[in-house]
Structure 1
Amino acid sequence: MEITLQPVLIETQSRDTEGRLAFVDGKLVAVLVRLSEELHGADGLAGQWCVEAGFGACATDVLSVWFDSLEAARSWIAERISASSPTG
């Protein structure tokens, strides 16, 4: 399984604009956004990545899954895809 995280700017109508499009084998499975210091510094979430939108096995409630790093997000995506595959 090839997981690709493509940098993208996201119009969230907030300062949380740094994003990644997450692809598995060329298929879009999630949109990740990095939480800004301005909005999330006080709650301790600044710099973390969250799932803004998920598709298929990566579908989840908005802002309900956070990651300390993109590698952690990549691992979560791999686990979700593997668990949902017919042979997984």
Structure 2
Amino acid sequence: MNLPQQLREHIINHYIKDKAPDGFNDDDNLIDQGLLDSLAIMNLIVWLEKQAAIEFDEGDIVLENFSSVKALLDFVRRKCAVSSDD
């Protein structure tokens, strides 16, 4: 399974839980919809670091990076590109 699918499933299984994922898409704002709070973001960071083999820096922990599945995937892609350039 690829990271985009794993991330979608992780968010649905851990943060949506009792809410039906009907209509859930990669552009939905996870923070505005109340799906991610500060604790959920910290747990998501740990999960992403393991799954994507990346390490978050302090400056990476900004709401824009966690606003949607698309924003998270874009962030991971940028982070992977930067680490491969090193």
TM-score (normalizing by structure 2): 0.41
> Greater share of helix residues, 1 or 2?
2
Q: Which has the higher contact order (CA 8 A, sep 6+)?
A: 2
> Greater share of strand residues, 1 or 2?
1
TM-score (normalizing by structure 1): 0.41
